[in-house]
Amino acid sequence: MRVRNFIFQICFRRALLVPILLFTYGCRCGIPTPITGIPASTEIIQSSILNSTEPLTLVHVWATWCRPCREEFPELIKIHNEYASKGLAIILISADNPNDFGIVETFLLEQNSPVSSFIATELDQPFIEMLSPTWSGALPSSFFFGSNGKLLTEWEGKKSYEQYAETIEVLLKEITGDTP
């Protein structure tokens, strides 16, 4: 049983690695990559946050079945469109079941999302603490990280475009010393 689990883990991780690498490579080279949901472990998500090349990274945890998350989603797209060229990266993490990646993909396409979303394969305490030791685990939640992976601020619950923009302006100004 252990051997079978080990083989499954290896295959599963390698299978995940391909779309993640393509996604990362495509983004860095300016190649359009298909918008989709990518099942990912806590380790992979953490690595993605740490390797973000932008000065400010907004990590947003959401789910397709979460009403406030759905209501808030268009605001996030507007935020991406306004600030992606000004030093902000957005990493989406869906709390949907990884088996439902098709539902996640359909939602992203319906919303014309410019970014793909990870789908967390673990939603346990290590996942929560990887993002923030003070996060209760409630959805939706947003976390702002500096380029060194340092958590700058966070909040729980739905927010407006203006609330996101205000926080991003302050943080980018603090990090870069310039007004975005």
Partner 1 sequence: MKKKRTIHLAMSTVAALTITSLAAIDIGDPWVDADVKMKNVDGSKVSINDIKGKKGTLVIFTCNHCPFVIDWQTRMVELANTYGKKGFGIIFINSNDSATQGDSYEEMQQFAKENGYQFPYVVDETSQVAQNFGAKKTPDVFLFDATGELAYHGAVDDNGRNPERVQKTYLKDALEALLAGKQVAVQETKAVGCSIKFR
For residue 34, CA distances in Å to 4, 37, 52, 112 come to: 32, 10, 19, 11
Nearer to partner 1, 101 or 155 (CB): 155
Nearer to partner 1, 23 or 93 (CB): 93
Q: Which stretch binds partner 1 (CB under 8 A): 22-30, 39-47, 49-57, 153-161?
A: 153-161
- Does residue 117 contact residue 32 with C-beta atoms inside 8 Å? no
Compute the least distance from the CB of residue 109 to partner 1, in Å: 22
- The answer to whether 148 contacts partner 1 (rule: CB under 8 A) is no
Q: Which residues contact 60 (CB under 8 A, 6 or more apart)?
A: 76, 90, 91, 92, 93, 140, 141, 142, 143
Q: How far is CA 55 from the centre of its chain?
A: 15
- The answer to whether 153 contacts partner 1 (rule: CB under 8 A) is yes
The residue from 51, 53, 134, 160 that contacts partner 1 (CB under 8 A) is 134
The residue from 22, 154, 161, 180 that contacts partner 1 (CB under 8 A) is 154
Interacting positions 62-101 with partner 1 (CB under 8 A): 63, 65-68, 95, 97
What is the C-alpha to C-alpha distance for residues 72 and 87, in angstroms, rounded to an integer?
21
For residue 7, CA distances in Å to 10, 13, 18, 57, 129 come to: 5, 10, 17, 34, 28
Interacting positions 30-69 with partner 1 (CB under 8 A): 61, 63, 65-68
The residue from 149, 157, 160, 176 that contacts partner 1 (CB under 8 A) is 157
Nearest to 33 by CA among 23, 47, 21: 23
Would you give the DSSP letter of residue 100? G
- The answer to whether 176 contacts partner 1 (rule: CB under 8 A) is no
Nearest to 19 by CA among 146, 107, 149, 119: 119
The residue from 23, 73, 83, 135 that contacts partner 1 (CB under 8 A) is 135
Residues that bind partner 1 (CB under 8 A): 61, 63, 65-68, 95, 97, 120, 123-125, 127-129, 134-140, 152-157, 163, 166-167, 170-171, 173-174
